[in-house]
Amino acid sequence: MTRTQIQLPDELYQRAKTFAAERELSLAEITRRGIELFLSRFPEPTPERKKWQLPSVNGGGIKVPLEKLRDMAADDESTRSLSRR
């Protein structure tokens, strides 16, 4: 357990001492309980999640110009329609 010193305004100290005496507790005990209560009311914030980003796909280095891709898709579509006949 760690020992520490704190400074309290006189009125707060007197109120705390009276409170502790009425409950047959030490000033240290009500201080510990008070800090525990305070910390339970204000829990540590959860770490922020990283902003989601669209995953990138490695295309394996094959690069096809958009115009060529359209032509390839049209050729594929016409080939498929001929095979269905």
pTM of the model: 0.50
User: In which domain, by residue range, is 37 found?
Assistant: 10-41
* Assigned domain for 49 exists: no
Please say if the pLDDT value at position 45 is more than 90.
Answer: no
For residue 70, being part of any structural domain is answered with no
Q: Which two tokens stand for residue 85?
A: 């006949």
Mean pLDDT for the chain overall: 86
- Give the count of beta carbons closer than 10 Å to the beta carbon of residue 58: 5
pLDDT digits (tens, 9 = 90+) for 8-41: 999 999 999 999 999 999 999 999 999 999 999 9
Q: Is residue 85 part of a domain?
A: no
Number of domains making up the chain: 1
In a domain? residue 19: yes
Helices (H), 8-65: 10-22, 27-41
